[in-house]
Amino acid sequence: MSHPSLKPGVVTGKDYLALVKACKDGQYALPAVNVVSTNSVNAVMEAAAKNKSDVIIQLSNGGAEFYAGKGMPDGFQAKVLGAVSAAKHVHLLAEHYGVCVVLHTDHANKKLIPWVEAMLDHGEAHYKETGKPLFSSHMIDLSEEDIDFNLSECARLLKRMAKIDMSIEIELGCTGGEEDGVGSDDIDNAKLYTQPEDVLKAYDLLTPLGHFSVAASFGNVHGVYKPGNVKLRPEILKNSQELVQKTHKTAANPLDLVFHGGSGSDKAQITETLGYGVFKMNIDTDTQFAFSEPVGKFVEANAKAFKYQIDPDDGTPYKKFYDPRKWLRLAEEGVVTRLNEAFADLRSAGKTLADNSKISKVA
């Protein structure tokens, strides 16, 4: 099968849909990496370029706030402007890394709907100016609310997003993990598993309105736990796909599925999800550790350089050790190394749709 080649850079609208289709047809997925700074953004683009893979860069509301600066007086404004600033950084640089980059935001619960709406104000302004939205897709996570409210809110927001060629990611069933207050002990709770009937409801309501993807819960949790505590049941994904396929007589895997909580997951089970229409796997915890671990080692090995500018005993200058570029670069390299593994696990290495002859020549 042949897929369209795309211009390198941020992909939105039809190009994004072509990318999702290529992933599913080729049974591979893209890592969606949470970023908090230009260091993490650039490391993700570097890793994607090295692996000749397309990639998804995403911000949580907290990551966006951090990107704008924790010192900004208005925290809500920081969440909005940080996301806008990060998106503009990626729009400017991504094409020069020679791969396709999807821009996404992460979980937004009921309280964070105004955050999404404010980002859409900026997205609409950007669309007027450039013909492209700022983000390829925003996620709305109303999985704690009742299903009817969840879906009607998602429908309302998707109508607005579709007008500027955006997609929505919704959540059905709740992903477990520390941040959700769901312990790994009561993992066998029905709420942790997406119900195929709910997925069908979402499909019926949202398909006429625009493009959507589904974060489905199949025992996945955010964060990394002791081995054995996470019992994934990827067949849950298969059941949802089959119900929609049977009801609407579609081709196989009609749903575009997202795997949350990819950190620390069993490799064989990651591979299994690729056969069930998963095109995006979120990874955050593992890349956080990959960023910080080399910095810890470096500080440990060069402890004096982080206490003195000049060695008090022998006068050695330590500038080349404490220069932030030295240890931040190690952090970036740590992320690249971890992502090499992710691109291999998700089988996306070497599969970029970017055609570099389409790159603009203005540097």
Q: Pattern 63-102, binding to Zn ion, x per CB under 5 A?
A: ----------------------------------------
Residues 246-275 contacting Zn ion, CB under 5 A: 260
C-alpha distances in angstroms, 343 versus 16, 32, 42, 196, 334?
A: 19, 11, 16, 29, 15
With CB under 5 A as the rule, give the number of residues binding Zn ion.
1
Residue 122 or 260: the one with the smaller Cβ distance to Zn ion is 260
Query: The tokens of 7 are what?
Result: 């211009």
Residue 164 or 221: the one with the smaller Cβ distance to Zn ion is 221
Query: The tokens of 264 are what?
Result: 């620390």
Smallest separation (angstroms) from Zn ion to the CB of 60: 9
Smallest separation (angstroms) from Zn ion to the CB of 107: 5
Amino acid at 238: K
C-alpha distances in angstroms, 9 versus 148, 163, 339?
A: 37, 21, 19
Residue 260 or 280: the one with the smaller Cβ distance to Zn ion is 260
Residue 42 or 217: the one with the smaller Cβ distance to Zn ion is 217
Q: Which residue number is nearest to Zn ion in terms of Cβ?
A: 260
Residue 132 or 260: the one with the smaller Cβ distance to Zn ion is 260
Q: Are 288 and 39 in contact (CB under 8 A)?
A: no
- Distance between CA atoms of 84 and 119, rounded to whole angstroms? 7
Residue 224 or 354: the one with the smaller Cβ distance to Zn ion is 224
Give me the helix-helix angle, 285-301 and 38-51, nearest 10°. Answer: 110
Per DSSP, the three-state class of 222 is strand
314 is catalytic: no
With CA atoms as reference, report the closest residue to 239 among 259, 261, 265, 217: 217
Q: Does 280 bind Zn ion (CB under 5 A)?
A: no
Smallest separation (angstroms) from Zn ion to the CB of 15: 24
Smallest separation (angstroms) from Zn ion to the CB of 177: 8
Helical segments of the chain, H only: 13-25, 38-51, 61-68, 75-97, 113-130, 147-162, 196-206, 235-248, 267-274, 285-301, 319-322, 324-345
C-alpha distances in angstroms, 291 versus 25, 36, 197?
A: 32, 11, 40
Residue 286 or 332: the one with the smaller Cβ distance to Zn ion is 286
Q: Are 66 and 36 in contact (CB under 8 A)?
A: yes
Smallest separation (angstroms) from Zn ion to the CB of 297: 29
- Distance between CA atoms of 257 and 215, rounded to whole angstroms? 6
Amino acid at 44: V
Q: Pattern 199-238, binding to Zn ion, x per CB under 5 A?
A: ----------------------------------------
Smallest separation (angstroms) from Zn ion to the CB of 263: 10
Q: To which H or E segment does residue 348 belong?
A: none
> Of 15, 54, 74, 106, which is the active-site residue?
106
Smallest separation (angstroms) from Zn ion to the CB of 208: 27
Active site members: 106
Instruction: Name the residues that contact Zn ion, by CB under 5 A.
Output: 260
